[in-house]
Structure 1
Amino acid sequence: MRKLDTVIRDYHWGSRTALAELLGEPSPSPGPQAELWVGAHPDDPSRLRGCGVPLDRYLAANPAGLLGPRCLAEFGPRLPFLLKVLAVDAPLSLQVHPDREQAVAGHAGRGYRDDRAKPEVLVALTEFTTMSGFRAPADTVALLDRLDVPGLAPVRAAVAAGEVGGALRLALTGTTGGLVAEVASALGRVPELAHLAEPARTYPGDPGVVAALLLNGVVLRPGQAVYVGPGVPHAHLRGVGVELMVNSDNVLRAGLTTKEVDVAAVLSIVDTRTGPAHVLDGEVDGPLRTYPTPDPEFRLHEVRPGAVLAGGGPQVLLCVNGSLVVRRGGDEVGLASGESVFLPHDEAAAQVAGEGRAFWAAVNLGA
């Protein structure tokens, strides 16, 4: 087992308090701190404490021994998942991620960052507000009627006809700044759309505000999770959460951002299925709480003292409060809040003791 030094990314939407407090550092921080990365992504890999070796380079030196034969055969010589803590103080972009087939084609022909899908699951540490997936058409029509903005008539008609993809296209390509302003001023009439007030203020005139009218607004309680599969449109708005995903950086943005937007690419892969967001309460088994997803690359568990972490494949454990001790064989590692450890492939189980709480990321080859 090897303790890790991790990387913080300082995007503008980050918090000046959440990650600083998690790490026991001075708060507020000098600038926004958005994401704590725990893993081996080549852009910002964690490093082995004490020697500074990047985790991706460490794994490349002995992939079979550190990842295990099954993980290596299935995913190649890399850690297949990336664990993050997100500290969201301002809205993130409206975005989608490709599935595996789309990622392979996009990497070859459209400049995608890599050839991997990017499904993800996020567990709320605080109350967490997000948007995920298309709302049921009848519910969206009812909300648009209460909003009562005449310029939305074409979007409403498309939704009423069950053409949610067409409604998204109209919202993103046929929306003027004036219509966005009308929508923003009308949001107070519909309490269920109150979560859109901040995106509308942050990105005035952005067509993503109109597109967001089509999506489920979700407020997660601490401990609840949302799963975002390939093609599902989503945008995180506020809160702190632990997120686990495939080790990829394939993001296609539709709006609510100052970064590059590729509406055509979004429309080509968006999942137009409708219904409630995929919210998970987790499956509790003693000191473990599991958030099941269909993805073989990862599985996520909340861990309390007394938990036994089954062996097999590479694993990462991140302490989010208190202090813990992880033991496997004759090895022992102590973790304080914000600290993490990499557990290489080993069939032996690890035991967690102490007084704290952690999140355990592992592969899910039984999926």
Structure 2
Amino acid sequence: MFVGITNTPRPYAWGSTTAIAKLLGREISGDPEAELWLGAHAGSPSTILDPTQTGGATDLAEWIAADPQTTLGRFAASGRLPFLLKVLAAASPLSLQAHPTLDQAQAGFDRENELGIALDAPQRNYKDAFPKPELIYALSPTFDALCGFRPLDEVRALLHALIEASNALEDPQPQPLEDLLDSLSGSDVALPETFEWLIGRRTGVATLVSLVTTLASRGVAGYDAEMATVSQLAEEYPGDPGIVIALLLNRVTLRAGEALYLPAGNIHAYLSGLGVELMAASDNVLRGGLTPKHIDVPELLDVLDFTPVPVPYLQSTSPSEGVAAFTPDVPDFELVRVDGMFLDASVALTGPAIALCTAGEVSISGSVSSVSLELGDAVFITPDEAGLRFTGSGTVFVATTGA
């Protein structure tokens, strides 16, 4: 069954006022539109366009709860759609954040329940008992992000460049940078200890943040992107230790069509751009700076993976002509892009799915029924449709479960 769905974009302050509307052919509201949620998450379940198809259910969460066998197939026992599809439009930086593993989420959720912390309390870390790995696919010509701790030799090279720039100031003051460099030249625990010092705003951090902000405004040869990011973050969050933490992280500019995969423990922040985001259906976020919201430093330190990594690009495979599949190493979700002019592109389903048309006109035929999509249309697809075949010319993103 193909069931038409829609939703209203989330009005977070960092959202673009035009990007989502232009992408989907909607009227521009003039207000920030940060995320369009397509899924059954309780925070913003998708609206059913024709409730006669769903026994009167008016949103996707309600329908799934009433008829999990039809809507979820092999996931019926869990009673939940395991993924959440979003269109994300960042006009300014999001907070630094990381997400827990399944074990951490279950333990944290139980612990906070036992403590009697309300689900909507600002100090609550765990809103549910699930992990939240995610991927982001760039739709805009560029999509800027911070993602994971960069190799320490790269961090040290950057710090040496900053020290040289500081020495060139009329009033040289390299000591805070030299102290930071020294702290990252020790044992395997050097990075966690340095991060804890920064995020805890310990003695000397404010001076370091101020110095780095000053140097970024003057420019540092060879590090244009990093210094532009520091200046951007300093304008949005003056004095925040996340300004310096950003220098410890991979700074990446995705081109349209490229994707990142952010597993549990990966610290990241989206800086700007329009993209399709797909994640496990969870709301568990541990923040690590660049935010006025609650930061639980001990819990964040437990969740973070401090292993330096290269930029976590997610490469696609091509199961059939015109089809690109982005498949991370988790069972919760897979993102498939069907793109171009095609007569018979095919996508196999192992569970429920959501399809979103971002260009052209496309017909989708399943095992049971069919549907035609135009720009901005979205449908929920029940698992009995199994294999999908696409005809037409355009672009459709399909979110579904992993194998």
When normalised by structure 2's length, the TM-score is: 0.86
Match for 1:105: what amino acid? A
What is the CA deviation profile of residues 249-294 of structure 1, one whole-angstrom value per residue up to 9, with x for unaligned ones?
0011111112222222211210011021211232234211111211
Match for 2:19: what amino acid? A
State the Cα RMSD in Å: 1.6
* Separation in structure 1 between the aligned mates of residue 83 and residue 134 of structure 2, nearest angstrom: 10
Residue 104 of structure 2 is matched in structure 1 by: 102
State the SS of the aligned residue for 1:309.
strand
Tell me if the contact between 1:132 and 1:215 (Cα under 8 Å) persists in the aligned partners. Answer: yes
Residue 293 of structure 1 is matched in structure 2 by: 328
Deviation at 1:124, TM superposition (A): 0.4
Point out the structure with max Rg over C-alpha: 2
* Separation in structure 1 between the aligned mates of residue 297 and residue 15 of structure 2, nearest angstrom: 25
Q: Equivalent residues in 2 for 1:77-226 (5 A)?
A: 77-110=79-112, 111=124, 112-126=126-140, 127-148=142-163, 149-161=174-186, 162=188, 163-173=190-200, 174=202, 176-187=205-216, 188-189=219-220, 190-193=223-226, 194-226=228-260
Q: Equivalent residues in 2 for 1:200-279 (5 A)?
A: 200-279=234-313
Match for 1:64: what amino acid? Q
Of 359, 375, 379, which residue of structure 2 is paired with 1:321? 359
State the SS of the aligned residue for 1:168.
helix
Match for 2:211: what amino acid? E
What is the CA deviation profile of residues 85-141 of structure 1, one whole-angstrom value per residue up to 9, with x for unaligned ones?
110110000011001000001111134100000000100001100000001001101
* Separation in structure 2 between the aligned mates of residue 311 and residue 97 of structure 1, nearest angstrom: 27
Residue 64 of structure 1 is matched in structure 2 by: 69
* Separation in structure 2 between the aligned mates of residue 152 and residue 11 of structure 1, nearest angstrom: 35
Residue 346 of structure 2 is matched in structure 1 by: 308
Inter-CA distance 268–154: structure 2 relative to 1 (3 Å threshold): farther
Deviation at 1:347, TM superposition (A): 5.6
Match for 2:387: what amino acid? A
* Separation in structure 2 between the aligned mates of residue 120 and residue 46 of structure 1, nearest angstrom: 19
Tell me if the contact between 2:88 and 2:276 (Cα under 8 Å) persists in the aligned partners. Answer: yes
Tell me if the contact between 1:123 and 1:224 (Cα under 8 Å) persists in the aligned partners. Answer: yes
Deviation at 1:186, TM superposition (A): 1.0
4-13 vs 155-164, greater mean Cα deviation: 155-164
184-193 vs 106-115, greater mean Cα deviation: 184-193
* Separation in structure 1 between the aligned mates of residue 158 and residue 400 of structure 2, nearest angstrom: 41
State the SS of the aligned residue for 1:280.
coil
Identity across aligned pairs (percent)? 39
Deviation at 1:205, TM superposition (A): 0.4
* Separation in structure 2 between the aligned mates of residue 270 and residue 329 of structure 1, nearest angstrom: 43
* Separation in structure 1 between the aligned mates of residue 301 and residue 358 of structure 2, nearest angstrom: 37
State the SS of the aligned residue for 2:127.
coil
Tell me if the contact between 2:230 and 2:244 (Cα under 8 Å) persists in the aligned partners. Answer: no
- Following TM superposition, the consecutive aligned residue runs of length 4 or more in structure 1 with deviations greater than 3 angstroms are 175-178
Match for 1:15: what amino acid? S
156-165 vs 126-135, greater mean Cα deviation: 156-165
State the SS of the aligned residue for 1:272.
coil
Residue 24 of structure 2 is matched in structure 1 by: 23
Q: Which structure 1 residue ranges, 5 or more long, are not aligned?
A: none
Deviation at 1:337, TM superposition (A): 2.1
State the SS of the aligned residue for 1:324.
strand
Deviation at 1:323, TM superposition (A): 2.2
Match for 1:331: what amino acid? S
Deviation at 1:331, TM superposition (A): 2.3
Residue 332 of structure 1 is matched in structure 2 by: 370
Equivalent residue pairs, number: 361
What is the CA deviation profile of residues 48-87 of structure 1, one whole-angstrom value per residue up to 9, with x for unaligned ones?
1123611011011111222113x234xx001000000110
What is the CA deviation profile of residues 142-199 of structure 1, one whole-angstrom value per residue up to 9, with x for unaligned ones?
1011112431333322322242111211221225434312111112213241333211
* Separation in structure 2 between the aligned mates of residue 22 and residue 153 of structure 1, nearest angstrom: 47
When normalised by structure 1's length, the TM-score is: 0.94
Match for 1:232: what amino acid? N
* Separation in structure 1 between the aligned mates of residue 389 and residue 212 of structure 2, nearest angstrom: 53
Q: Which structure 2 residue ranges, 5 or more long, are not aligned?
A: 52-56, 113-123, 164-173
Match for 1:20: what amino acid? A
302-311 vs 14-23, greater mean Cα deviation: 302-311
Match for 1:22: what amino acid? L
